[in-house]
Structure 1
């Protein structure tokens, strides 16, 4: 890398380190983490211990919580690790995705050499054609646009295509009010595989702990060559804390959704921006200018980060993705930033 390129990369990193308000992440940033931090400090000696039986202990506790059997559950190196594990175990398979979709799906399928088919954007689940398809990959709510597939449509999909494995990421299930699938549904639908993690809904992305729920033979096929070396004893202790203290990680979802609606309403008042509100507490905003220009302005002038295609999000070049922050003053700062862009007449550049 040249000195010029290094300098540019360093300046970009310094900018991001100055970010005060991050609207780009899908993590619930209102989580109260002080109690779990204090607990982990008291358990710091675990850093010198191998995970050992800790993973099995978590599997027992988690399977009871999810109302499934232990042989229907596999602890993984995070949610992305779960996606990669399935993709790698079925290298060269034929997969169907519904754009826009999570980049973790795209990257894992590409790396594992899957033959990927993309349904036309906006395709309904009832219209999917799965002839010759091994896997369909979905998330509820959908990342990145927040679309929520109706529960009855997901059940119809499972019944209509029994020979196709339907993989559903439920890591953000707590972000919606509507009834949706649950892990124990794998016992009713043998073609269902559920993924989840403790990253976004718990704001514990640094743990890198996720899990897969599926019929025992599917789990056994993954377990044969898999050792979750990326999961530490301290991370497993954190998961144990989460499972024992679920009330500490309750998301005020009605308030978050209400904040999203209010934020979208204010954004729509600003010339050059149109929100695409979803049923989840994050949504896309269409910009009359290139989204990356808007994002760079917000970062430089207001220390605000928003999601764009340049950040590896599967959206169009004129869209940004945002999720409201827990406090009104923070959301007001985003509105002021967008107004600043519009008032400076950037939209005409």
Structure 2
């Protein structure tokens, strides 16, 4: 079994779809579990539910939590071939999703006015990356989503996170608990232009004091 996060978290990069499908076809003896929780936040092509169902060795994980901003409900679903789904059902815990989450999910999936303007988010992500780099204190990784991974050249991510939360009421992700990263890495999700400007201004204040 091979687990992939696509788009990747925390880098935001997306695997090339053609290369990924070729890899899946070549290794039919391996089950590919692909976490597409952030699939709604990229314009890069990803495997669709119908495409995944054509493979006997692919399970796609989807999240409503990210798409509809409902982290407290922890609601998601899987898509796969009928044979794989049958095997999953045999191992599934009873009452794996509570009734409130199910009703909320049905309501949200039927809404037609909850649109994501992903192009605008991606433009803001690029602008935010440029602003961070212009401080001279960050290395920023390329991303295909609305969030980005950055490395502080000075100081610690934990200290910056605490400062922003306590002094400005802003939250960023300390990425030090991702395997291979240390306490100099942060993940930031782009917001509105005004919010992004305020964040960079607050970061400038922190850098000036440190």
Q: Do the structures match in fold with TM over 0.5?
A: yes
| 2-structure distance, mates of 1:204, 1:178 | 24
In 2 relative to 1, CA 224–187 (structure 1 residues): closer, same or farther, beyond 3 Å? closer
Matched, 1:145 2:11: yes
Matched, 1:298 2:164: yes
Paired residues in the alignment total 208
**Cα displacement string for residues 66-90 of structure 1 (whole angstroms, at most 9, x for unaligned residues):** xxxxxxxxxxxxxxxxxxxxxxxxx
**Which has the higher Rg, Structure 1 or Structure 2?**
1
Q: Is the 8 A contact 1:271 1:342 kept in 2?
A: no
Aligned pair partner of 1:232 in 83, 95, 98:
98
The alignment partner of 1:159 has SS state of: helix
Corresponding residue for 1:242? 108
Q: Could you say which structure has the greater relative contact order, defined with CA pairs below 8 angstroms and 6 or more residues apart? A: 1
| 1-structure distance, mates of 2:74, 2:159 | 32
- Unaligned residue ranges in structure 2 (runs of 5+): none
| 2-structure distance, mates of 1:265, 1:255 | 16
Corresponding residue for 1:341? 206
**Cα displacement string for residues 314-343 of structure 1 (whole angstroms, at most 9, x for unaligned residues):** 433211100012x22211111111111222
In 2 relative to 1, CA 188–224 (structure 1 residues): closer, same or farther, beyond 3 Å? closer
The alignment partner of 1:284 has SS state of: strand
Q: Is the 8 A contact 1:195 1:210 kept in 2?
A: yes
The alignment partner of 1:292 has SS state of: helix
Matched, 1:172 2:38: yes
Structure-to-structure mapping, 1:47-196, within 5 angstroms: 135-196=1-62
In 2 relative to 1, CA 281–136 (structure 1 residues): closer, same or farther, beyond 3 Å? same
Matched, 1:277 2:136: no
Q: Is the 8 A contact 1:270 1:338 kept in 2?
A: no
In 2 relative to 1, CA 334–140 (structure 1 residues): closer, same or farther, beyond 3 Å? same
TM-score by length of 1: 0.56
- Unaligned residue ranges in structure 1 (runs of 5+): 1-134
| Superposed displacement of residue 237, structure 1 | 1.6
| 2-structure distance, mates of 1:211, 1:178 | 21
